[in-house]
Amino acid sequence: MALELGIWDMSLDAADDLEDEQFHILQLSAEYTAAIASGGDEVLIGILQNKPDAAGKAAEIRRVGISKVVCGDTIAVGDEVTSDADGHAVTATEGQRYVGIALEAGVADRTISVLMEFGYLSESS
């Protein structure tokens, strides 16, 4: 069962209609604007908490705490998670940025919990 603990959320403008993208990973797309992340090489800023239904509406983004996230592939407990091309959580690999640590295992389209922790997976990690 996925759980949440919001400690710090921020609000930026949605770049597009994100109504169907709740619990997806976001990236910075323009000044004060967030869009669905397109991979672990982007500037990942957090996980969408609400459902803004048009560009320019407030996107509430979890930065610190525990968040739900939708999986894009199989994830194991303890994996660092990054984004695939659709903003879904996948296991980070060397050279990618990540947004958190999986607190539970998941498979594609399952919602799991992640402990928010931003970082970069280097060769020595």
pTM: 0.95
In the chain, % of residues over pLDDT 90: 92
Q: Which two tokens stand for residue 78?
A: 């303890």
Tell me the domain boundaries of the chain.
5-64, 67-120
CA atoms 124, 106, 101, 88: torsion sign? positive
Q: Express each pLDDT in 27-69 by its tens digit.
A: 999 999 999 999 999 999 999 999 999 999 999 999 999 999 9
Rounded CA gap, 81 and 102, in Å? 7
Q: Which two tokens stand for residue 7?
A: 């400690």
The one-letter amino acid code at 31 reads E
- The mean per-residue pLDDT over the stretch 115-120 comes to 96
Determine the Cα angle at 114 with ends 112 and 120, to 5°.
Answer: 130
